[in-house]
Structure 1
Amino acid sequence: MQSKTVIIEEHGGPEALKIATRDVGEPAAGQVRIRHHAVGLNFIDCYQRSGLYPMQLPAALGMEAAGVIEAVGEGVTHLKVGDRAAYAANPPGSYCEARVMPAAQVCPLPDAISFEEGAAMMLKGLTTHYLFRRTVPIKSGDTVLFHAAAGGVGLIACQWAKSEGITLIGTAGSDKKCALAAEHGATHTINYNTEDFAERVKEITGGKGVDVVMDSVGASTFEGSLNCLRPLGMMISFGNASGAVPPFSLQTLAAKGSLQITRPTLFTHIADHATCQQMAAELFEKVTSGDVKIRIDQSFPLEDIAEAHRTLEARKTTGCTILTL
């Protein structure tokens, strides 16, 4: 069996993406073979392609997808042939028609969730889960600043916060994107291209600052984000869309109010099989209950992967983006 697979032979821009035909074998112990119906697109894919997150080359790309299990290796008990399934998992390689991969982070997909939604929601939804439930205690009545609130993670986060009584201040780069975040549950929105977001946050919070900042933008928002926190507040830096955060002095955290900071990754949180499956079950419940709706605003054929990357990096996307097969 063969599969069209997107690979890179060198790090670079979207032009480095190539489509190759690769053999797909049988799953070994602890593995499954899955045939994809839809594939998710994420900023981490761009980081890996560019070399910000270096990979051993040549490499296949893509971290999430949804489809049907075609074969199951020895010892795999939570999935069987014919099951609908979705995942966000290492190793990369989801930009393909079919693949063999470790089974531990592949999750049974409820019938009420489409393959397209499954492919769009796993990495972004599980990221939202660990931001709100596993990084620092956040309770009803707390206030969170969330950058890029109209993006894939952002729109899920807006809905998640609203469903749990959390005040979310969302930033975005246009009035249209701010309106989209508000439509999805953001309590307040800030257009960071027309307003000083740190000043606006102080106004919104009566000078107190927010309990938590969730920042996937990186270099361009980092200092302002620290200035938005209340004393003892938590800065969660979980992405680098504008570039990596430069080195800074730990004394800065002391001077700004004994602040806390963490740089988590999803893959640490889901490394344990049981934890991953539990997180996915809680995410699926958010979606099937109607608390969170997965918005897919862009769809590209697998063959147009370079254009998909260009569109994502140009900040021209809202909600989630998928690849179709």
Structure 2
Amino acid sequence: MTDHEIRMLGVGGAEQLSVAPHQPLIPAVDEIRIRHKAIGVNFIDIYHRLGLYPLSEMPAILGVEGAGVIEAVGSNVRSVKPGDRVAYVGLPVGAYSATRLLPAERAIVLPEDIVTTLAAATMLRGITAYMLLHEDYKVQAGTVVLIHAAAGGLGTILVRWAKLLGAVVVGTVSSSAKAEIAYSNGADLVIIGRDADLVKQVSSFTGGLGVDVAYDGVGGSTLIKTMRCTRIAGTVASIGRAAGAVEQNAVDEIQKQRSLIFLRPSVIAYVSDIERYHRAATAVLNAMREGVVATIGATYPLDQARVAQTDLEEGHSTGSLLLIP
């Protein structure tokens, strides 16, 4: 069977993704070559394709997350060996390919009890959840959290991990079917529909106080509604822009809320620190053993990357999406 890779030919729509033959490369002294078993599809891939986070060279191979088996290592590599199962997260891009070269320090060795495909679906979102729930805001028993897209890839993990910590979880979803998923993950209240009166329902549920912390991956006009759902001196983390860029008047809303803490965390920047990256990855592996794992919403052959990205971009999916070489 011929190996393939997905090349992004330029900035634009999913039609910019092209299937091409792939030739495995020889690792440099501090690199490994991994043969992918599964590749995570994430919004950051779409942001790269759209030019919101520009890439320096074209054509480019997208993707910042995957898992598989090490095929070869460079002469200086001692931390891992051929045959090890590993997962990874972070730059440089290059995951949409049958194999890839990777700095050896990026490799997270998978214990025997962690399934490779689940690691590929969980690691990036798991590290993001760790950053949001443990470091950006220390969620604990009784913390009231608001999680948008609560049945999505990141939302599923956030709900499960927040409940593991004893939090009270309010989720939002776009349909009744997705609400069932969010409730099954442990959400205490799920608000359905983009036109729902989010602020009113959250106020009613919290006795007028608002949530302690809100995680908003939607952006656009939703972010202001999210701010209005948050208590005085609460925290809002803007973690995506699925519905568009953050509106400028969001700054005014921060002032209206009085002492609202506004965060724009970046998991890619977070994992650029190798020590922090490995600490977070270890926490994710431990949380996976406690049931904090991604739900794999769908898998696609690697050559169907266009379809996978379109499904994610248009909101047709739940859980995490994987490409399978």
- Report the CA distance between 1:251 and its aligned residue: 4.5
Instruction: Map Cα deviations across residues 165-190 of structure 1 (whole Å, 9 max, x no partner).
Output: 01110001111111110100111110
Aligned residue in 2 for 1:324: 324
Match of 1:33 in 2: 33
Distance in 1, Cα, partners of 2:251 & 2:154: 28
Is 2:104 the partner of 1:103? yes
AA partner of residue 104 (structure 2):
A
Give distance in 1, aligned partners of 2:256 and 2:297: 42
Task: Determine if contact 1:171/1:190 at 8 Å carries over to the other structure.
Answer: yes
1:19 CA displacement = 1.4
Distance apart, 1:14 and its partner CA: 1.0
Q: Is 2:307 aligned against 1:307?
A: yes
Structure 1, 295-304 or 187-196: larger mean CA deviation: 187-196
Give how far 1:74 is off: 4.1
Structure 1 residues 100-119: Cα deviation after superposition (integer angstroms, max 9, x where no partner): 11122221112212221111
Q: Provide the residue aligned with 1:273 in structure 2.
A: 274
- State the SS of the aligned residue for 1:59: coil
Query: Residue 15 of structure 2 aligns to a residue in which SS?
Result: helix
Name the TM-score, length of structure 1 as normaliser. Answer: 0.95
Q: Does the Cα contact within 8 Å between 1:14 and 1:310 map onto a contact in 2?
A: yes
Q: Secondary structure at the match of 2:158?
A: helix
Report the count of equivalent residues.
323
Partner Cα separation in structure 1 for residue 101 and residue 287 of structure 2: 29
SS of the aligned residue for 1:60 comes to coil
Match of 2:78 in 1: 77
CA contact (8 A) 1:174 1:193 kept: no
CA distance in 2, matches of 1:55, 1:150: 30
Measured on the aligned residues, the alpha-carbon RMSD in Å equals 1.5
Alignment check: 8 A CA contact 1:177 1:318 kept: yes
1:48 aligns with 48
Instruction: Look up the equivalent residue of 1:106 and give its one-letter code.
Output: A
Q: Tell me the equivalent position of 1:135.
A: 136
CA contact (8 A) 1:89 1:106 kept: no
Query: Once the 2 structures are TM-superposed, how far is the Cα of residue 249 of structure 1 from its aligned partner?
Result: 6.2
SS at match of 2:128: helix
- Map 1:1-325 → 2, pairs under 5 A: 3-56=3-56, 57-248=58-249, 250-289=251-290, 291-325=291-325
Query: Secondary structure of 1:165's match?
Result: coil
CA, structure 1 residues 168+75, in 2 after alignment: closer, same or farther (shift >3 Å)?
Answer: farther
Taking the aligned partners of 1:266 and 1:74, their CA distance within structure 2 comes to 30
Provide the secondary structure at the position in 2 that maps to 1:134: helix
Q: Deviations over 1:36-87 (max 9, x none)?
A: 1111111111111122222222211111110011122244333222110001
Partner amino acid for 1:316? Answer: H
| Separation (CA, whole Å) in 1 of partners of 2:113 and 2:295 | 15
Q: 1:82 to 1:226 in 2, by over 3 A?
A: same
- Structure-1 separation of matches of 2:123 and 2:77: 21
How many angstroms apart in 2 are the aligned matches of 1:138 and 1:184?
17
Structure 2 Cα separation of the partners of residues 248 and 194 of structure 1: 20
Deviations 1:180-230 (A, max 9, x none): 101001111101335211111111100001111101111131110110111
- Which stretch shows the higher mean deviation, 213-222 or 246-255? 246-255
Deviation per residue, 1:232-265 (Å, 9 max, x gap): 1111001111111122364532221211111111
Q: Name the CA distance, whole Å, in 2 between partners of 1:126 and 1:167.
A: 21
Please tell me whether the aligned partners of residues 41 and 323 of structure 2 are also in contact (alpha carbons under 8 angstroms): yes
